[in-house]
Structure 1
């Protein structure tokens, strides 16, 4: 091959090219982002529409249905789901993977512009749900026991226990102070940190000016509540009046009319009645209070304010966390002595640990591979030559990663770690063949040229077969294709780099020390001046003396290292050498016996394959292994209508109990909607809460499971509580088991949902069983008598607006106080809206001389509607979901099918299994297709290499043999079949054929030289035993640290390592016997001996 010849002749060129690649690779490495997982673009859009005050049925009919009909025809939409709950509609669109979501969002917005919605409804907004939108860090700001300072500016001095509940002005002042400090100082300080996209604050008390109207007094004065709102808005304004010039002086004219104090708000004139001036304080109580609470947050039981930090989409998570931590140091120093800021969650800690674990696994694997090489080669310099391919290939890979915008994450680094053992395979084959030519008595340069050229096409073919298996991953649908893209690319990049190293750098280094060209003496003219002679001396020193000294020094160092290494490892080398010689003898005898007993060999291989398939049902299946991060969360849902204070009370009780569990370090509770940037429609509401439990450092997965089991037993004692356990979300997956029960009648759906839920709850395999069909919040329904209202000259929509203004209230304006903007809320005082009787007495025409109460034109009643209405494909559904206590997803799905068969459903009601089981079926189907296509591509590459259809067919028999080893490895280690295992199988299909390629290639070469077939098989097997064992052991030991599965993120690494190691070991053992037998049976071709030609 010309490139090999060029590499041997132009050593300096190759050396400088390598140095350049290494230099740019290190620069690229310094600029790569560090994240936990690749950037995953989830193809979902949520259309959220607020329709305040509307019941779920009204939301469904007036908002959800029109939106579903409009957006269901958008190109690429595969599924439309929706949830209609009180005051809010969420329509979730699921697109095909690979859809450009920016274009899809524009299409959806265009459709929404044409939808006719009620005037009272807010404009629909589109939201993206992505687990990476979760905050990367969460802090809790709370009062420390015994402190006295208060950042709100009020003089308070209360004990710590006082602000656990809002029972005293001091407690209220403290929670206001926490919120003010978080909003005004922490938020502004942190949002300017590098890479921070947003800082969201929740919890505490938000200040609000409340104007509580005395309805009776307002009606007596014939003043509508809307007039008060309009007057406050008009009075609180600063306007620019232009400019005024007086002589040579120019003035700006401004009208300053913003409220300076709450007292000014009280003294606003709202009406004039003859000679009397009516002030706001005459008809309303004006107080500086706080908004109705949307969230209550607690750290270890103490009420706190949550600071959630979100990173920019393409920012480096670890770098952002470091910048935030640096800011937090100065912030803590500036806090009052009685306040404390504690970190609740930091995603970067797990990311850094998981990434470091992969790095360490790669380094250890590389060291083990190099040790194996030395034991085989017994030569330090030869080992160094082969080992250099590892760092050069990896650093070259960083260039391609940077160019393709691939971050350092556990998948991309896992790809590098997977490839470490394989990076030396090509170099081993090349160098081993060079050594074989040296043993024939050829010179160093000649051996390097001919040895590398002889196997050049074989190593290219073997590399292309490994790379080819990753191409079908572009057809893999779902999360698997997105997740493993980075890994496939990094393996491909590193193997291509190793191929280039094997056919350039390895021959060049192997030829060092060969015959050199005679160095011509320097015919330099004797300089005539002292300056000339001095310059010549400097040149000789720089370009001859120093390089010569460095070369001799390096050779001296290498010589001594070689001697030391030989002395240290000589006992191990002797033992290893004896073992190898024994193996070689055993193999030679086994191969002769196998060629004479072909039927027995093939029968054993076939029985092994069939027997392994029988083990598959016992292994179990799941979608993707669950990552253990040392923490978990419990979602709570109390009966509809439960106020947030009661939700907080229940959460606090559970939180106090959980703090006494083993290995629990901190607990953080959120009651209510909390701080959510994502569009997850499953969460939120006053009856919803979440408790996050962080375990002590070093806690295992077993500790997590034990803590969850202990909590379950205590949660079951709380009546009416629904709960669901989960771990921090890294992927957007459904619950393991989801049963979709479809129909139209809500009552029948509820009966069916409850029946299925009871059936699953009776099986101890299932945990956290719940149905989405539940009774909704109690409603006060106002049914208008339109005829009577019209007779009295009243418009129904005007009366409805007036009810909203009195009960919910309107924000009239914003009051500026201490650089803060505080809402001014106008509504009826609490006494006028505290009961149904008070609602019935609301005056619906306050600007009339004859006041009319609401009861005169409407019937007011209490009723219970559905809590929410779910729809899938524009059909109403009830969804019964469940987690698993034990076992795999495949077995659980079978038991669910049996439970459905035993449950009698009402007429017109259908049920089907969804959840992760459905996602798993789709992913596995596309992965099986990808595996089949990968095997076909491997065949295409080999057929092109051998220019034969038969020999690639023989080599393909290594793949079912590898499957046997992979299944045995999974069975022995108790690892379930998952998407990760399938990716390992695809990779395995490209690896296991390499040994057979080099074996068949040598046999063919020997037969072309006139060697008889059986003799060529025996001699080829003996000659290729050493490189086959070397490549197998280096790959296996390179993957061993990944397969052992220690450290953070091991759940995603170990299954792939186990699959590849098991398949490679077993296939190698059988390949050395079965492939020669198959070759002898199938290959009937006669070869005409060809004369040897010099390799070019």
Structure 2
């Protein structure tokens, strides 16, 4: 082959081509994003979220959810729409096909929602359009804690300074604050004093809105000067707010302090975030959740956030401490590090085996040099196809080591055999390479034809193995190129005929020859027993099919990710205080496990209410149990979780259960089976749903069977006497 001949006659050409592969491959290696799994495991999802405080789920559904559903239903590439109407919030998840660009989908949904914004209730917040992808879970939780500061001061400091600081970190997509008790001015109106002064709530609210403004008042023109006039609000502290005039009566001006108590307080008291760790319990804590942008590297983002935390800690006021409470990149980095170790071990084993068979140290140099050149050059393929460094890609490299070494070994063996027969290294390289070139090209095409079709598999399996197929195919092509250029050039320079003198190699050679003799004798014995061999093969095939049907099948095995979650809820309609008390009881049961001498626990993080759909229902909570580093504990996460399960599930009047997080969440909380039930009315839907649930619960192999449709939240219905209200001059809006 021409390129092989040139490489042998002009060694510089082979060296330059190999150096190009090494330099560019090494350069793009540092540019490739690092993540746990291939991008696109979860399909692109756009979430439309609208908050309407104090509105019931029925009102949310009628006034917001249905209107938005109608207008976004025609967007291109929609796979399904999942809508949830909760008290105070409408959440619509629009899932698109995997071939749809997330940014284009979000822009399309944003444009469609803007058409109906004017038709939504004026009291509702503006719709939020959020992009979700494979990395839509929080990458990190950062805890701001203090033994001396109040939770109000912590929340105010985090909101004023830290949110903007972390938002500026590259590849940060969104910031979520947990346990934030946002500082505000709270006005507690006394209804008796209000009635005594002949005032209504609307008048007090109107006075607060009209007085708390900054307005331009035009300009004042004078000789040689133009002055801007501003009517500035004069309410800059609690005392000035208390003096705000509400209404003038015949005798005096009624002030806000005459009918209300004014004080600083949180916007909402219905939120709690705690981060318990050894020797630091019950500190006032605010959590800052950091989301990675779609497609961003989890590991790189973690490194940048760690650098920012070091900078921020230097400038924090006395009594404050900022630290990482949860870092998803820890598991990702550890898992990828283990794969790198396996890669190195595989390389060493391959080189050792080649040495044992060839018995010539210089002969080992050829495949030993060709192997890293092929692997490093393969990173160019990842970069060109827009892939990332993840566990599946690295596992494909481990698999590729044995495959890509074959080409160089075959080339080296062909040349070395000719050298042993008396040819010079240069002649042997020239003739041996010609002899083996067609075989290398043929095996390359066959292997590519085997792996490349994996690209066309659909669904999650296709997404997982697409990058594996591309990485393997490209590495095989690169290895063939190296075997046809670098390997024969190195063989012509380094290979010499040398007897096997090393006692290890000699011993291995004797053992191998003995095994070969044994194999030949065994083969001669069995080769004529056709019926016995045929029956044996049939039994093996039948047994394999039988065992396959009874073998557990799953997309990915259970993993020790260094943590487990506790998902809990109380009865529908439970107050925040009641739910908080139940959550703290479970936390108190786990704290002795945290403080034990050989405790595998590192930290407990609790949030009330929970995340996601549960974030607006005060009867939910979540506890994240973070475990020590894998090398510092003897028990895996499943064992630790089983030991704690009795303390978790036995709390009365509370439904709480631990789950082990997985790499791929096929649904909420890793429930593998879901079904959608249709009905013409909610009453019919509820009846069908209850019947299906009762039927499913008769199957003992199923657990945690739940429906996302509930109508159990207690409420008080106000029935207005329209005639009486009209006589009193009170409208339904005023009553509301």
Give the TM-score normalised by structure 1. 0.61
1:155 equivalent in structure 2:
none
On the 8 A contact 2:601/2:625 being kept in 1, the answer is yes
Q: Which residue does 1:906 correspond to in 2?
A: none
Give the stretch that moved more between structures: 416-425 or 301-310: 301-310
User: Pairwise mapping of residues 167-186 of structure 1 onto structure 2 (< 5 A)?
Assistant: 174-186=150-162
Distance in 2 (alpha carbons) for counterparts of 1:50 and 1:787: 33
Cα distance change, pair 441–588 in 1 and its aligned pair in 2 (3 A): farther
Q: Mean alpha-carbon deviation: is it higher for 498-507 or for 117-126?
A: 117-126
Partner of 1:10: 10
1:713 aligns with 2:646: yes
Mark the CA change 1:107 to 1:334 in structure 2 (over 3 Å): closer, same or farther: closer
Other structure's SS at 1:681 match = helix
Whether contact under 8 Å (1:630, 1:700) holds in the other structure is no
Alpha-carbon separation, structure 1, partners of 2:29 and 2:721: 74
Encode CA deviations 1:22-74: one digit per residue, 9 max, x unaligned. Answer: 22222222333332233335233333333433333343344444444444444
Q: What is the DSSP-based 3-state SS (H/G/I as helix, E as strand, rest coil) of the residue aligned with 2:656?
A: strand
* Correspondence for 2:140: 137
- 1:384 maps to which of 340, 365, 370: 365
Pairing partner for 1:461 from 427, 438, 442: 442
Q: Alignment partner of 1:778: what SS?
A: coil
Task: Single out whichever of 189-198 and 589-598 deviates more from structure 2.
Answer: 589-598
Q: 1:477 aligns with which of 451, 454, 458?
A: 458
User: For residues 647 and 409 of structure 1, do their structure 2 counterparts lie closer, same or farther at Cα, with a shift above 3 Å needed?
Assistant: same
How far apart, CA to CA, are the structure 1 residues paired with 2:62 and 2:216?
47
- Separation of aligned partners in 2, 1:246 and 1:95: 63
On the 8 A contact 1:741/1:753 being kept in 2, the answer is: no
What aligned pairs does 1:39-438 form with structure 2 within 5 A after superposition? 39-40=39-40, 42-113=43-114, 117-118=120-121, 120-130=123-133, 132-144=135-147, 150=149, 174-219=150-195, 221-241=197-217, 244=220, 246-249=222-225, 251-274=227-250, 276-300=252-276, 302=282, 303-335=284-316, 338-438=319-419
Cα distance in structure 2, aligned partners of 1:785 and 1:723: 44
3-state SS of paired residue (2:664): coil
1:727 corresponds to 2:660: yes
Q: Are 2:657 and 1:657 equivalent residues in the alignment?
A: no
How far residue 425 of structure 1 moved from its aligned partner, in angstroms, is 0.7
Q: Residue 241 and residue 201 in structure 1: after superposition, are their counterparts in 2 closer, same or farther (change >3 A)?
A: same
User: Aligned residue for 2:568?
Assistant: 636
Matched positions, count: 716
Following the alignment from structure 1 to structure 2, what is the Cα–Cα distance between the partners of residues 702 and 611?
Answer: 35
Q: What corresponds to 1:670 in structure 2?
A: 607
**Whole-Å Cα distance in 2 between the matches of residues 442 and 415 of structure 1?**
39
Aligned-pair distance for 1:444?
3.0
Tell whether 2:734 aligns with 1:799: yes
Structure 1 residue 621 displacement after superposition: 0.5
Q: 1:929-986 CA deviation, whole Å, 9 max, x = no partner?
A: xxxxxxxxxxxxxxxxxxxxxxxxxxxxxxxxxxxxxxxxxxxxxxxxxxxxxxxxxx
Q: Distance in 1 between matches of 2:673 and 2:389?
A: 35
Equivalent-residue separation in structure 2 for 1:579 and 1:330 (angstroms): 62
**Distance 1:434-1:596 versus aligned 2 partners, 3 A rule:** farther
The yes-or-no answer on 1:609 pairing with 2:541 is yes
Query: SS in structure 1 opposite 2:714?
Result: strand
1:889-929: CA deviations, max 9, x gaps? xxxxxxxxxxxxxxxxxxxxxxxxxxxxxxxxxxxxxxxxx
More off after superposition, 296-305 vs 89-98: 89-98
Distance 1:5 1:590, change over 3 A: farther
Provide the C-alpha distance between the structure 1 equivalents of 2:510 and 2:218, rounded to a whole number of angstroms.
100
Contact 2:573–2:619, Cα closer than 8 Å, also in 1: yes
Q: Which residue of 1 aligns with 2:596?
A: none
Instruction: Please say if residues 130 and 732 of structure 1, whose CA atoms lie closer than 8 Å, have aligned partners that are also in contact.
Output: no
Partners of 2:273 and 2:607 within 8 A in 1: yes
Distance 2:174 2:45 in 1: 22
Assess if the C-alpha contact under 8 Å between 1:131 and 1:732 holds in 2. Answer: no
- Provide Cα deviations, 1:87-136, integer angstroms capped at 9, x if missing partner: 32333333333233333334444554555555555554433334523332
Q: Please state whether the residue corresponding to 1:484 is helix, strand or coil.
A: helix
Alignment of 1:548-947 (within 5 A): 570-589=502-521, 596=528, 600-661=532-593, 662-673=599-610, 680-681=612-613, 684-698=616-630, 703-728=636-661, 730-734=663-667, 735-738=670-673, 740=675, 742=677, 744-745=683-684, 748-749=687-688, 751-752=690-691, 755-756=694-695, 758-759=697-698, 763=700, 768-772=704-708, 774=710, 776-790=712-726, 794-796=730-732, 798-800=733-735, 803=736
By how many angstroms is 1:204 displaced? 5.0
Cα distance in 2 for partners of 1:719, 1:397 equals 58
Q: Which has the higher contact order (CA 8 A, sep 6+)?
A: 1
Distance 1:206 1:103, change over 3 A: closer
1:29, 1:747 → 2: CA distance?
Answer: 55
Cα pair 2:396 2:472 within 8 Å, conserved: yes
Give the 3 Å change call, closer, same or farther, for CA 513–681 of structure 1 in structure 2: closer
Inter-partner Cα distance in structure 2 for 1:54 and 1:192? 35
Contact 2:375 2:475 in 1 (8 A): yes
Gap change, CA 1:736 and 1:795, over 3 Å in 2: closer
Does the 8 A contact of 1:212 with 1:286 survive in 2?
A: yes
Q: Flag the 1:175–1:697 CA change in 2: closer, same or farther, 3 A.
A: same
**Separation in 1, partners of 2:438, 2:85:** 63
Work out the CA distance in 2 between the residues paired with 1:701 and 1:44: 39
Cα distance in 1 for residues equivalent to 2:479 and 2:260: 81
Unaligned segments of structure 1, at least 5 residues: 151-173, 515-554, 804-1096
In the alignment, the residues of structure 2 paired with residue 650 and residue 48 of structure 1 have an alpha-carbon distance, to the nearest angstrom, of: 29
Deviations 1:568-615, CA, capped at 9 Å, x for gaps: xx2321222112222333444555666655555444334322222221
Inter-CA distance 750–196: structure 2 relative to 1 (3 Å threshold): closer
User: What does residue 35 of structure 2 align with?
Assistant: 35
SS in 2 for 1:278: strand
Q: 1:329 to 1:469 in 2, by over 3 A?
A: same
Q: Is the 8 A contact 2:367 2:409 kept in 1?
A: yes
How far has the Cα of 1:263 moved from its partner? 1.5
Distance 1:376 1:755, change over 3 A: same
| CA contact 1:757–1:770 (8 Å) conserved in 2 | no
Residues 145 and 285, structure 2, Cα contact 8 Å, conserved in 1: yes
C-alpha change, 1:133 and 1:92, in structure 2 (3 Å) is closer
Shift of 1:643: 1.7
Pick from 455, 467, 483 the counterpart of residue 486 of structure 1: 467
Residue 727 of structure 1 and its aligned partner are, at CA, apart by 3.1
8 Å CA contact retained: 2:582, 2:654: no
Q: Which runs of 5+ in 2 are unaligned?
A: 594-598
Shift of 1:440: 4.7
Structure 1 Cα separation of the partners of residues 172 and 107 of structure 2: 26
The separation in 2 between residues aligned to 1:510 and 1:737, in whole angstroms, is 55
**Aligned equivalents of 1:97, 1:326: Cα separation in 2:** 35
Which is greater in Rg? 1
Q: Is the 8 A contact 2:455 2:470 kept in 1?
A: no
Deviation, structure 1 residue 642: 1.5
What is the rounded CA distance, in whole Å, between the counterparts of 1:588 and 1:709 in structure 2? 53
Contact 1:131–1:729 (Cα < 8 Å) also in 2: no
